[in-house]
Amino acid sequence: MTSAVTTLELELHPANGQRLASLCGPFDDNIKQLERRLGIGINYRNEHFTLIGPAYLIKAGANLLQDLYVDTQPVRGQEIPDITPDIVHLAIKSSQVLEQDTAPSEGYQYGKEVTIKTKRGLIKPRTPNQAHYVAHIQTHDITFGIGPAGTGKTYLAVAAAVDALERQEVRRILLTRPAVEAGEKLGFLPGDLSQKVDPYLRPLYDALFEMLGFEQVEKLLERNIIEVAPLAYMRGRTLNDAFIILDESQNTTVEQMKMFLTRIGFNSRAVITGDITQIDLPRNAKSGLRHAIEVLNGVEGLSFDFFHAEDVVRHPVVARIVRAYEAFDNQQLPVSPVNASPHSARNAVTSQTDTTNNNETAP
């Protein structure tokens, strides 16, 4: 059930241009963070603010703006303090407004279509599952996109990252994936680090080139606004103000997945994509993606989106191939109580991919 959209007018006193600049942040980053986290619209002119959204959310947003504006008051003649994204994040957490039970659709339907805008054009989801996936990317801190090849998981995630960068919601894009060979040994690869890992990251580059153009991507890579790196180089980092995409996450180990998820910093979003029917790990290693589905199902701020053959947007034969493999796998599955309970993310994924357990746990 979606709450009715209302409007709230707010005026901050005493009016002070420097304090308002500190409240809004550079390029209105703080306002954008409030909009994204609360799922509301905020327009302002000088000290006059207009908030649009469900009544309880815009009321909470107004209270947050007032509290944060109080924090801009200089103490004992000192300079006006900066309101950083960290402070905004902690203020939202302290308000506990996001702990209320709200439907995911309430975060993105306030007069806006679920679309992604890039310089190359408008990207629209083609299936209901893709629409929910895009909406969850826009309203959740961490989104998992899980399903077969050709369902748009990586493409839509890269599009959302480019959109967030162009809107200045984030300051950089970080793309990563585990460097695991797909069932064959490639041996020693010549060249520097970039040349060694680029073949593994080519799908991410292809999506970027399509949306931004080759020259623009090269410029952003040179300035480290877009960073492409193997997963192994994420350890020890804290990633703030970033849009992070972990592709092919079914090939992470449990330890790698935990390491990656704990890298995420303030004002950052992460999208994890993977297909747990195509795991290339050694037989005695459990997929970090499968483990994350089991452990993190129900954790606040996380979303799990599952795709099926109906969501394939490549050549129609790809959808038929996916269905054929699913039908074959289902014939091999013994009937079990787990497969009879599709109500949780864990059971939904187990019922589709239990055949991979044999590959993961065989001696």
**Which stretch of 10-19, 88-97, 293-302, 339-348 has the lowest confidence by average pLDDT?**
339-348
pLDDT digits (tens, 9 = 90+) for 213-264: 889 889 998 999 998 888 877 877 878 899 999 998 998 999 999 999 988 8
Q: Calculate what percentage of the chain has a pLDDT beyond 70.
A: 76
CATH of the domain at 334: 3.40.50.300
Structural domains of the chain, count: 2
More confident call, 315 vs 65: 65
Alpha-carbon torsion (78, 79, 84, 89), positive or negative? positive
Report pLDDT for 64: 93
Report pLDDT for 269: 92
In contact, 31 and 135? CB cutoff 8 Å: no
Report pLDDT for 263: 87
Residue 19 lies in a domain: yes
Q: Residues with Cβ < 8 Å from 91, sequence gap 6 or more?
A: 64, 67, 68
Q: Residues with Cβ < 8 Å from 173, sequence gap 6 or more?
A: 161, 162, 164, 165, 220, 225, 226, 227, 242, 243, 244, 245
More confident call, 181 vs 115: 115
Q: How far is CA 175 from CA 37, 59, 162, 230, in A?
A: 23, 37, 12, 8
Mean per-residue pLDDT for 82-95? 81
Domain final position from 75, 99, 123: 99
pTM reported for the whole predicted model: 0.62
Hey, what are 230's tokens? 């193997």
Same domain as 311, residue 259 = yes
Same domain as 87, residue 128 = no
Same domain as 236, residue 125 = yes
Residue 108 lies in a domain: no
Report pLDDT for 197: 61
Same domain as 94, residue 119 = no
Report pLDDT for 45: 93
pLDDT at residue 2 tops 90: no
Residue 106 lies in a domain: no
Hey, what are 288's tokens? 């970090």
Best mean pLDDT range from 113-127, 134-148, 316-330: 134-148
Same domain as 135, residue 91 = no
Same domain as 77, residue 160 = no
Same domain as 148, residue 60 = no
The alpha helices in the chain, defined as continuous H runs, are 17-24, 29-38, 55-71, 85-95, 128-139, 153-166, 193-212, 214-222, 254-261, 288-296, 316-332, 345-353, 355-361
> 290-313 burial, b for 16+ CB within 10 Å, e for fewer?
bbbbeebbeeeebbbbbbbbebbb
Phi, psi dihedrals of residue 172, rounded to the nearest 5° = -160, 165
Same domain as 152, residue 95 = no
Same domain as 21, residue 86 = yes
Residue 337 lies in a domain: yes
Phi, psi dihedrals of residue 318, rounded to the nearest 5° = -65, -45
pLDDT at residue 342 tops 50: no
Range of the domain at 15: 5-99
Domain final position from 72, 99, 126: 99
| CA–CA gap between residue 324 and residue 327 (Å, rounded) | 5
Mean per-residue pLDDT for 273-287? 86
- Residue reference for tokens 């998992």: 144
Residue 169 lies in a domain: yes
Same domain as 19, residue 164 = no
Q: Calculate what percentage of the chain has a pLDDT beyond 90.
A: 29
pLDDT at residue 22 tops 50: yes
CATH of the domain at 31: 3.30.1370.10
Same domain as 259, residue 192 = yes
> 202-241 burial, b for 16+ CB within 10 Å, e for fewer?
eebbebbebbbeeeebeebeeeeebbbbbbeebeeeebbb
Same domain as 174, residue 80 = no
- Average pLDDT of the chain, as a whole number: 79
| CA–CA gap between residue 279 and residue 293 (Å, rounded) | 15
Report pLDDT for 255: 92
pLDDT at residue 71 tops 50: yes
